[in-house]
Amino acid sequence: MSDNQAFLEHINEGYKTKGDFLTMGAAMYNGETVTDAHVKIPLKTLNRHGLIAGATGTGKTKTLQVLAENLSEQGIPVLLMDIKGDLSGIAAASPGHPKIDERHEKIGIPFEAKDFPVEILSLSDQDGVRLRATVSEFGPVLLSRILDVTTTQAGIISIIFKYCDDNKLPLLDLKDLKKVLQFSTQEGKKELEKDYGRISTASTGSILRKIVELEQQGADLFFGEKSFEVQDLCRIDENGRGIINIIRLTDIQDKPKLFSTFMLSLLAEIYGTFPEQGDSGRPELVIFLDEAHLIFKEASNALMGQIESIVKLIRSKGVGLYFVTQNPTDVPDGVLSQLGLKVQHALRAFTAKDRKAIKLTAENYPISEYYDTKEILTSLGIGEALVSALDEKGRPTPLAATMLRAPMSRMDILNDGELKALLKKSKLIPKYNEEIDRESAYELLNEKIEKAEAKEAKAAAKKEREKLNRSSSSSRSRGRRTSATEKAVIKVLTSATFIRGALGVLNKLLK
């Protein structure tokens, strides 16, 4: 048996699957593509998460596009984070190209151009379905971790949430939260201290500063109503294809705290609301996190712990998470160890640090008798990658250097006219893009403060009137006393006895 024939059997046996699967492409050996040595990923293991890594320009985004298209074809909804703004073309069919035909001939898969059902979402003022969540839905624990506050400050945030729950004060946006924090150490200080204990002004001041920092990154656009319902990410179109939801994030690349806030909120909401999936044989939703290092950038230890916990637990809900980044070292070890599928594009060895990273990356893959992993990592071409997955029994598949299939949709973005036409067809924009600012903690507390101030002003006015009345009464009393004395003197002076006495004295003096 020739080496090529042995390799073909090795791959076909390792990637054999009985259930539904996605075909990534064909394996390569000795620099040549082995037609019909297809690398297949079972749908059953796609909720075990994954990694797509590689240097800039090696084809990571196209790999993401291929996976999203094939999942949609299988009726599985997808959520994509479009940080670079180059994924909207999934909504249009590929125009085709001779090089694409040549690639697919080598792989042994016919090429078919298709468009796919797409929903454009937005975290900011960009066009698309607005994504929001209320502060109450976010919760005190998650909010404390995002703000990276101390244990004492986290306790104060919990008290604030409890006070608002007890007094029916909805916490919808950040201005509500700031208002309650200010109220807790000013007008409402005595009220809160009576039922919940003393709240430090210094601590609330520190929390307020962290909230302002979050606002400066655009979080005031995210917190509010109407809250996005995560079940709307799991829609299927009329042809049975999963909707590909694309979140446009081109304007928040320099706002890592907002991005991590949104992602953690979304994952927590999905975990909290999706039912347990069990071993269903296919995922309910697959999420691709492009430029994944932004999630972990500037993340506190508490936040990192929360992310790792969700990654470990969310697969039981039938949700697969796929991190797309330049280097596997961008993803923390605790998360990396949970990833079943790894698609590693070429890495560049320009420095000693690069060579060290390549050595560490190679150690994350199964040992192969057919490849020198460290060497092949630097020699892969565009659209080629090392692939390692899990088979239907959860075992690692053989390492395969793979020529990846081309996307069926356009590898370029939609123009303005196409984008507007796509947004016009959206069924979610009418549901979520209406601005709602209903009465919440901010308005209710302002009303409460105004009433208290009016009551105090009324009491002060009453007190002042009483004081004036007392003063007036005292003046009248003194007036009455003076008048009586005068009358007595006049009476004496005008009495007959006094007149006679006075006249008698005068008579004596005259004599």
Q: Say if residue 490's pLDDT is above 60.
A: no
State residue 483's pLDDT score: 57
Q: What mean pLDDT comes out for the span 470-480?
A: 64
**CB–CB of 144/138 below 8 Å?**
no
pLDDT band at 253 (very low <50, low <70, confident <90, very high): low
Q: What single-letter amino acid sits at 340?
A: G
Least confident of 61-65, 323-327, 361-365: 361-365
State residue 268's pLDDT score: 85
Q: Which of residues 22 and 451 earns the better pLDDT score?
A: 22
pLDDT band at 481 (very low <50, low <70, confident <90, very high): low
DSSP 21: E
State residue 422's pLDDT score: 94
CA–CA separation, 380 and 388 (whole Å): 15
State residue 479's pLDDT score: 57
**CB–CB of 114/93 below 8 Å?**
yes
pLDDT band at 493 (very low <50, low <70, confident <90, very high): very low
Provide the residue ranges of all domains of the chain, joining segments of one domain with +. 3-131+238-432, 135-221, 446-510
pLDDT in tens, 314-341: 988 999 999 999 888 888 888 888 899 9
Domain 3-131+238-432 is found in CATH 3.40.50.1000:
no
Q: Say if residue 500's pLDDT is above 50.
A: no
State residue 476's pLDDT score: 60
pLDDT band at 429 (very low <50, low <70, confident <90, very high): very high
State residue 310's pLDDT score: 83
Q: What mean pLDDT comes out for the span 375-398?
A: 91
pLDDT band at 488 (very low <50, low <70, confident <90, very high): low
Q: What mean pLDDT comes out for the span 346-358?
A: 83
pLDDT in tens, 254-313: 677 777 777 878 888 898 899 988 767 889 999 998 888 777 766 667 667 777 888 888
Q: What mean pLDDT comes out for the span 24-41?
A: 92
Q: How many CB atoms lie within 10 A of CB 501?
A: 11
CA–CA separation, 334 and 187 (whole Å): 46
Q: Which of residues 331 and 121 earns the better pLDDT score?
A: 121
Q: Which residues, in sequence order, are bridge partners of residue 40?
A: 23
Taking phi over 0 as left and psi of -120 to 50 as alpha, with beta for the rest, 240 belongs to: left
Q: Say if residue 491's pLDDT is above 80.
A: no
Q: Taking the complete model, does pTM exceed 0.85, yes or no?
A: no
pLDDT in tens, 138-193: 889 888 888 888 999 999 999 999 989 988 888 888 999 999 998 888 888 888 88
What percent of the chain lies above the pLDDT cut of 90?
39
DSSP string, 153-189: HHHHHHHHHHHHHHTT----SHHHHHHHHHHHTTTTH
Give the β-pairing of 319-325 and 129-130.
Answer: unpaired
State residue 356's pLDDT score: 84
Q: Which of residues 152 and 350 earns the better pLDDT score?
A: 152
State residue 509's pLDDT score: 43
State residue 328's pLDDT score: 84
State residue 351's pLDDT score: 80
- Highest average pLDDT, of 79-83, 123-127, 235-239, comes from 235-239
**CB–CB of 230/269 below 8 Å?**
yes
CA of residue 184 relative to chain centroid, distance: 27
CA–CA separation, 495 and 264 (whole Å): 103
Q: Say if residue 421's pLDDT is above 60.
A: yes
pLDDT in tens, 64-110: 999 999 999 999 999 998 888 889 999 999 999 999 999 999 999 99
Give the β-pairing of 244-248 and 78-82.
Answer: parallel
pLDDT in tens, 433-460: 887 777 777 787 777 777 766 766 777 7
**CB–CB of 255/221 below 8 Å?**
no
Q: Which of residues 295 and 46 earns the better pLDDT score?
A: 46
DSSP string, 114-154: ----EEEEESSSSSSEEP-B-HHHH-HHHHHHHHT--HHHH
State residue 237's pLDDT score: 94
